[in-house]
Amino acid sequence: MKDKYLRETRMVDFSNPAIQKLIQNMKWKEMDDIPCRVHGFTIDKSLQKGAMTGFVYRNAPKNIFHSWVEINFENQWYELEAFILDKTYIKKLQERNPECKGAFCGYGVAVKDFRNLIIEFDRNNTYIQSEGINQDFGVYDCPDELLKEHHQEISAFKAFAYRHIGRHLMNRNVRKIRER
């Protein structure tokens, strides 16, 4: 299993000096290898409303390409999707929405129970956007394989605008929520 899930690919470039420095700084070589794979899907853009606003939201595709990581730990595969949002951001969203006791969709979150999130890994799956999934592409051994078959369907102009303007506006919105 190790060779299949821990091989270097174009996207997973372990030899890159910056990656090697990160591995060294985090002391990851001292840890046991944990095989991982990627699960691809799309989410409905309504999940991003609030994090995306204005023209960014209006021009976002209806189906937004996304993925989560799955790890094999103690001979069991676990789905780790909740790592995408940090606890501070989630806590601020909960404070801004005290009336929400059940399902919540927006600001990058789509869950059944907004007050009892399963975001900490303790030999369990973790989710923060799973209720917004509208198309499941399945599991791939590495990101390169997923991206050969699936990618964000968006025009070159919109991709350029998102890369150079939209994502910065979205990050600004998220930062404002975190800082309130």
* Nearest by Cα to 85 from 180, 179, 178, 169: 178
What is the distance between the alpha carbons of residues 110 and 86, in angstroms, rounded to a whole number?
15
Q: Please state, in angstroms and rounded to a whole number, the distance separating the CA atoms of residues 63 and 162.
A: 15
- In this structure, are strands 63-73 and 104-106 parallel, antiparallel, or unpaired? unpaired
**Length of the chain in residues, anyone?**
180
pLDDT category at 5 given cuts 50, 70, 90 is: confident
Q: Does the structure show a pLDDT above 80 at 3? A: no
Sheet architecture: strand order including 133-140? 76-80, 63-73, 36-44, 133-140
Cα gap 85→81, rounded to integer Å: 9
Backbone angles phi, psi at 138, to 5 degrees: 95, -170
* Whole-number pLDDT of residue 139: 97
Q: pLDDT tens digit string along 28-85?
A: 888 888 899 999 999 999 999 999 999 899 999 999 999 999 999 999 999 999 888 9
pTM: 0.83
Single-letter amino acid, residue 18 = A
As a whole number of angstroms, the distance between CA 150 and CA 173 comes to: 28
* Tens-place pLDDT, residues 86-136: 899 999 999 999 999 999 999 999 999 999 999 999 999 999 999 999 999
Rounded distance between C-alpha atoms, residue 71 and residue 12, angstroms: 15
- Bridge-partner residues for 106, per DSSP? 109
